[in-house]
Amino acid sequence: MPESKSHKKGKGNAARTEVPIPDKRRLDAIRGNSAIEVERGGTPQKIDQALSRLKTQTNKNKILRVPQNDIEMAVERVHKKSMNVTVTNLSKTKQIKP
């Protein structure tokens, strides 16, 4: 299924998009020292899947981008998994570093 415009916009102008990771999965983007995952699903299960994809990246700043109304749920899931992930909205105007 092709990516939506907002999904592509959320990745920004990353140097590498759709980076292969273990278990035949793909990380949305890597830009410099940052690993970026955009999750528009809006369910706890989808956010957990995105966090597991980010977990594979070591020595990278991890950024999870979600729609504005899902930020609270994403921060809660990050706390529950005890991960060091920055959660932002899709337009990158709000940022929460738990």
Q: pLDDT band at 1, cuts 50/70/90? A: low
Which residue type sits at 81?
K
Q: Cβ neighbours of residue 2 under 8 Å, at least 6 residues apart?
A: none
- pLDDT reading at 98 higher than 90: no
pTM for this entry = 0.87
Per-residue pLDDT reduced to its tens digit, 29-59: 898 899 999 999 889 999 999 999 999 998 8
Look over the chain and give the mean of its residue pLDDT values, rounded to a whole number: 88
Q: What is the pLDDT of residue 59?
A: 87
Report how far apart, in Å, the C-alpha atoms of 14 and of each of 44, 56, 84, 91 are: 26, 18, 21, 15
Q: Domain extents for the chain? A: 15-93
Question: What pLDDT does residue 14 have?
Answer: 67
Angle, helices 71-81/44-55, rounded to nearest 10 degrees: 50
pLDDT at 71: 95
Are 66 and 89 in contact, with CB atoms under 8 Å apart? yes
